[in-house]
Structure 1
Amino acid sequence: MRILGLDYGDRKIGVAVSDAFGWTAQGVEVLNRTASEQDLERLREIVEQHEVTEIVLGLPKNMNGSIGPRAEICMAFAEELKHALGLPVTLWDERLSTAMVERTLIAADISRKKRKQVVDKMAAAVILQSYLDTKPK
């Protein structure tokens, strides 16, 4: 029973998966978005491969907590996921997750090129770990 974490962006989708106990999140990959059907098919493959039973999707709220256009796009994607994959989807506040990952990678002196390759999957892992930390153990 693993949980899939997603950081949904305009061009990429960061993907993370929990361990079997739901204690830790690990970044899996970054999907370069193409057509919606192809994106959903790749996510279906990941769900099957990792035996996922639930999805957590980052919800990019505004800093004041309101829902803006980007969050509305994520909410629509959540509905697509529910219908296409038949799994429950939880929207999770992701404010500043990508910025936190960027700061961490910069502090670790990771080059800009390498940061671009991993920032989305690390943001997905941060979103998922934040969610997992609220679940009773």
Structure 2
Amino acid sequence: MRRGIRFSIDVGKARIGIARSDPDGLLAIPLETVKRDLESGSHLTRIAELAAEYEVLELIVGHPLNMRGESTPSTEDAVSVAQDLAAIVGAPVRLLDERLTTVSAARQFRAAGKQASRSREVIDQAAAVVLLQDALDRERQHGTPAGTELSTP
């Protein structure tokens, strides 16, 4: 297992959930929810600031394919954010299939007796945690980073 902090990014239309790992890559931890600003791109700036602050090894962006594994408008949006991040963050950016991560996070909230509609920002972070923990577990199991690395422009 490579040593270093990883971020996962759960891209939504209104918000982006961010989780980080510990330096040993054992545990995913919620970090922050960033509001999207399509006009100024301030969400990208904030993620880049956080990535620099934590000196991330890599960013893992959720790749929201539909249940048949096909691309959707959400897929294109997430890929666009991932490409933008790859251009401004000094670390590799990887795409990882995220089917059901938000659903899984919302279920965990309901199981804990919390209302998902009142916890949207926390659910965005929780979805990023689910995504990152999956990536960490896959890397530990297979010995190679999970997902597909984007090439930088």
Same topology, TM > 0.5: yes
CA RMSD of aligned residues (A): 1.4
Q: 1:76, CA displacement in angstroms? A: 1.6
**Alignment partner, residue 28 of structure 1:** 31
**Alignment partner, residue 101 of structure 1:** 105
Cα distance in structure 2, aligned partners of 1:78 and 1:116: 22
Counterparts of residues 1-137 of structure 1 (less than 5 Å):
1-34=4-37, 35-112=39-116, 114-136=118-140
Listed as ranges, the gaps of 5+ residues in structure 1 are: none
Q: 1:111, CA displacement in angstroms? A: 3.1
The Cα offsets for residues 20-56 of structure 1, whole Å up to 9 and x where unpaired, read as 0011100101111124531121111211221212000
The Cα offsets for residues 53-74 of structure 1, whole Å up to 9 and x where unpaired, read as 2000001001011112211111
Rate the CA distance shift 1:21–1:72 in 2: closer, same or farther, 3 A.
Answer: same
Equivalent residues of 2:60, 2:94 under 8 A apart: yes
Cα distance in structure 2, aligned partners of 1:117 and 1:78: 20
Equivalent residues of 2:106, 2:116 under 8 A apart: no
Q: 1:100, CA displacement in angstroms? A: 0.9
Q: 2:113 is paired with a residue of what secondary structure?
A: coil
Q: 1:87 is paired with a residue of what secondary structure?
A: coil
Equivalent residues of 1:18, 1:24 under 8 A apart: yes
Identity %: 35
The Cα offsets for residues 92-118 of structure 1, whole Å up to 9 and x where unpaired, read as 111011111111101111134542231
Equivalent residues of 1:102, 1:115 under 8 A apart: no
How many pairs are equivalent?
Answer: 137
Q: 1:52 is paired with a residue of what secondary structure?
A: coil
Q: 1:86, CA displacement in angstroms? A: 2.8
Q: Which has the higher helix share?
A: 1
Q: Which amino acid letter does the alignment assign opposite residue 34 of structure 2?
A: L
Q: Which amino acid letter does the alignment assign opposite residue 91 of structure 2?
A: L
